[in-house]
Amino acid sequence: MAKTWRCAVVGTGVVGEWHVKLLPTFPNAKLVAVCDVDGAKAAEKLKKNNITGVAVYTSEAEMLAKEQIDIVHVCTPSGDHLAPAIMAMEAGKNVITEKPMEIKLDRIEKMHAVAKEKGVRIAGIFQNRWNESNRTIKKAVEEGRFGTLSFGACYTPWYRTDGYYRDGGWRGTWAMDGGGAIMNQSVHAIDLLQWIMGPIKVVSAHASSRIHPEIEVEDTLACSLTFANGAHGVIMGTTAMYPGGGVRIEVGGADGTAISEGGLKRFAFRDKRPEDQELLEKLNTKKSTTAGGSSATDVELDLHYRNISAILDSWDRGEDAETHPMESRKAVAIILAMYESAKKGGVPVEVK
Ligand SMILES: NC(=O)c1ccc[n+]([C@@H]2O[C@H](COP(=O)([O-])OP(=O)(O)OC[C@H]3O[C@@H](n4cnc5c(N)ncnc54)[C@H](O)[C@@H]3O)[C@@H](O)[C@H]2O)c1
């Protein structure tokens, strides 16, 4: 019989609540404890979602000492993933972190090293990898259906209010958010772009805060880039485009073009296959076109479910999950290169 994973959530804000809501719906997981420095908030999230019999803590150390836990879900601010993750792994627990796994490469590498040292596993959330349209485009790249790839782009034209940045006190700060529209929001699309197209070699970016005077980071960035395979591309991300639209991924080459934007909008190849039209009809949904576009709370939880489920299945098989640290590191490396380039006025910077 498959193992039942005993889970705890650290950080019960916007996204911690998603994990709190989802975990009781898994056949092979059980939510046993929650922890937040604001204990009243954690208790309130359980009450709001009619979840009973789950212990509430304000100290992760105390929770780890008292509860029998297999996995700690780290849902704290992005620049505060390292400490809760290391504490959990040092106590012999596995870890699932929200995106980005951390905001600096050395911190992600440290998390990877501690997991190896302690013989536990760690994986990140990048739920959009479980979106059917994105998976379909990736599969077509793997099958070589685009021929020589010429272009790949991702656009995250979102909108966030000043209130969004004030809330929680950490968003829009270099220390805790690690950046702005790119590190927090566009990280999803950037991960998809490199996952589908392959590694990005060099970036040249420009960035500033256009409409959020209170934040120290960018609310808008535009970048041109070259992939390791020689294709060219574009990344744009913003939280300054009211009312916020859908994330768009474009891939094209000698033999085909594909576009996902809240569904599969284009899937056209020189070698036409009957199933292409069926896929377009099946995946061309309007439902989630602007998911996440105007607020952090209009995101469907189904993709989180699939992401967590895939992690548990890999771990059940005794394997690392697809979103293991060195995989989660890739989008952060691209983002940090873009920031370096923007800081230096757009000079080309190699991705580490
Ligand atoms: N996957 C997604 O689509 C998605 C969407 C939004 C946010 N996120 C990520 O989720 C993480 C949290 O974002 P959020 O919007 O939920 O933030 P939030 O501010 O709403 O919640 C963070 C919570 O963590 C608590 N906290 C802070 N430090 C703590 C600590 N050391 N120990 C215990 N609790 C602590 C805070 O009190 C707060 O309740 C971020 O890394 C963010 O990038 C992911």
Residue of 35, 37, 87, 111 to mutate, ligand 1, most atoms within 8 A of C-beta: 37
d(CA 196, CA 139): 8
Domain co-membership, 112 together with 144: no
Domain co-membership, 113 together with 185: no
* Pocket lining: 16 vs ligand 1, CB cutoff 6 Å: yes
d(CA 101, CA 122): 10
Domain co-membership, 249 together with 235: yes
In a domain, 314, yes or no: no
Q: Hey, whose CA ends up nearest to atom 27 of ligand 1?
A: 76
Q: Ligand 1: distance of its center to the CA of 36 in Å?
A: 10
Q: Hey, whose CA ends up nearest to atom 20 of ligand 1?
A: 13
Q: Within its chain, how far is the Cα of 41 from the centroid?
A: 24
Domain co-membership, 211 together with 338: yes
Closest to 269 in 3D by CA, of 138, 135, 131, 140: 140
* Pocket lining: 325 vs ligand 1, CB cutoff 6 Å: no
Q: What is the pLDDT of residue 297?
A: 61
Q: What is the pLDDT of residue 117?
A: 98
How many CA atoms within 13 Å lie on the side-chain side of 16? 26
Domain co-membership, 113 together with 137: no
Domain co-membership, 113 together with 138: no
Residue of 9, 12, 15 to mutate, ligand 1, most atoms within 8 A of C-beta: 15
In a domain, 148, yes or no: yes
* Pocket lining: 168 vs ligand 1, CB cutoff 6 Å: yes
- Give the sheet arrangement for strand 94-97, strand by strand: 55-57, 29-35, 5-10, 71-74, 94-97, 122-124
Q: Ligand 1: distance of its center to the CA of 120 in Å?
A: 23
Which of 124, 143, 166 terminates a domain? The answer is: 124
Range of the structural domain that residue 232 is part of: 128-296+331-350
Which of 124, 142, 165 terminates a domain? The answer is: 124
In a domain, 312, yes or no: no
Query: Residue 238 maps to which CATH number?
Result: 3.30.360.10
Domain co-membership, 111 together with 160: no
Q: Looking at ligand 1, which atom is closest to the CA of residue 84?
A: 31
d(CA 239, CA 48): 29
Closest to 14 in 3D by CA, of 241, 288, 304: 304
Q: What is the pLDDT of residue 187?
A: 98
Residue of 22, 59, 76, 171 to mutate, ligand 1, most atoms within 8 A of C-beta: 76
* Pocket lining: 9 vs ligand 1, CB cutoff 6 Å: no
Q: What is the pLDDT of residue 292?
A: 72
Q: Ligand 1: distance of its center to the CA of 195 in Å?
A: 25
Query: Residue 30 maps to which CATH number?
Result: 3.40.50.720
* Pocket lining: 11 vs ligand 1, CB cutoff 6 Å: yes
Q: What is the pLDDT of residue 289?
A: 45
* Pocket lining: 36 vs ligand 1, CB cutoff 6 Å: yes
In a domain, 191, yes or no: yes
**H or E segment and range at residue 14:** helix 14-22
Tokens of 138: 């990736």
* Pocket lining: 78 vs ligand 1, CB cutoff 6 Å: yes
Q: Ligand 1: distance of its center to the CA of 80 in Å?
A: 9
Domain co-membership, 228 together with 102: no
Q: What is the pLDDT of residue 300?
A: 74
User: Tens-digit pLDDT profile for the chain (352 aa)?
Assistant: 679 999 999 999 999 999 999 999 999 999 999 999 999 999 999 999 999 999 999 999 999 999 999 999 999 999 999 999 999 999 999 999 999 999 999 999 999 999 999 999 999 999 999 999 999 999 999 999 999 999 999 999 999 999 999 998 999 999 999 999 999 999 999 999 999 999 999 999 999 999 999 999 999 999 999 999 999 999 999 999 999 999 999 999 999 999 999 899 999 999 999 999 999 999 987 654 456 777 666 567 999 999 999 999 999 999 999 999 999 999 999 999 999 999 999 999 999 9
Centre a 10 Å sphere on the Cβ of residue 78 and count the other Cβ atoms it contains.
Answer: 24
Q: Is the separation of the CB atoms in 186 and 317 below 8 Å?
A: no
In a domain, 197, yes or no: yes
Q: Ligand 1: distance of its center to the CA of 81 in Å?
A: 9
CA trace torsion 160, 215, 329, 30 (10° rounding): -60
Q: Looking at ligand 1, which atom is closest to the CA of residue 35?
A: 33
In a domain, 109, yes or no: yes
**Structure pTM?**
0.96
Residues in the chain: 352
Q: Looking at ligand 1, which atom is closest to the CA of residue 17?
A: 16
The number of folded domains in the chain is 2
Q: Hey, whose CA ends up nearest to atom 18 of ligand 1?
A: 13
In a domain, 289, yes or no: yes
* Pocket lining: 234 vs ligand 1, CB cutoff 6 Å: no
Domain co-membership, 135 together with 38: no
Domain co-membership, 190 together with 290: yes
Which of 71, 94, 124 terminates a domain? The answer is: 124
Domain co-membership, 42 together with 142: no
In a domain, 249, yes or no: yes
Domain co-membership, 44 together with 70: yes
